[in-house]
């Protein structure tokens, strides 16, 4: 059994994190593996995936899909949604940076509800 890791509410409040740089879920995973003192290779075996799946995540070259989110949630005692939100938030921020002014040029077709 590994010690409980403090994941807080990361990925829950997107507005509060808009100004932060995008953080790939692999960075969170790297911190978690360091905290428990486990190698990527051993971790991959523990959760039943090829080592390349974990190394791809750690390098930011692989995304957290539904199956991986379920595995990560189980092994770290979090929800799968936590890992899915981290991935979605990362992808949204990367897309926002890439679109930039092109996004501002798109005019809404409907009125936004009052906040």
Task: Give residue-wise pLDDT tens across range 40-58.
Answer: 999 999 999 999 999 999 9
Give the residue among 69, 104, 105, 67 at the shortest CA–CA distance from 90.
69
The pLDDT assigned to 112 comes to: 77
Kindly report the pTM of this predicted structure: 0.79
H/E segment holding residue 55? helix 51-58
Instruction: Go through the domains of the chain in sequence order and give each one's CATH number.
Output: 22-97 (1.10.260.40)
Q: What is the mean pLDDT of residues 62-67?
A: 98
Q: What span, in angstroms and rounded, lies between the C-alpha atoms of 2 and 71?
A: 15
């Amino acid at each position: 059994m590994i010690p409980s890791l403090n994941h807080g509410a990361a990925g829950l409040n997107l507005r509060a994190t808009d100004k932060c740089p995008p953080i790939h879920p692999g960075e969170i995973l790297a911190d978690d593996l360091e905290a428990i003192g486990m190698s990527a290779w051993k971790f991959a075996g523990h959760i039943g995936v090829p080592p390349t799946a974990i190394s791809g995540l750690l390098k930011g070259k692989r995304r957290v899909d539904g199956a991986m989110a379920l595995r990560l949630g189980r092994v770290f005692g979090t929800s799968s949604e936590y890992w899915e939100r981290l991935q979605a938030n990362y992808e949204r921020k990367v897309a926002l940076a890439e679109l930039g002014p092109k996004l501002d040029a798109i005019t809404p077709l409907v009125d936004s509800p009052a906040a």
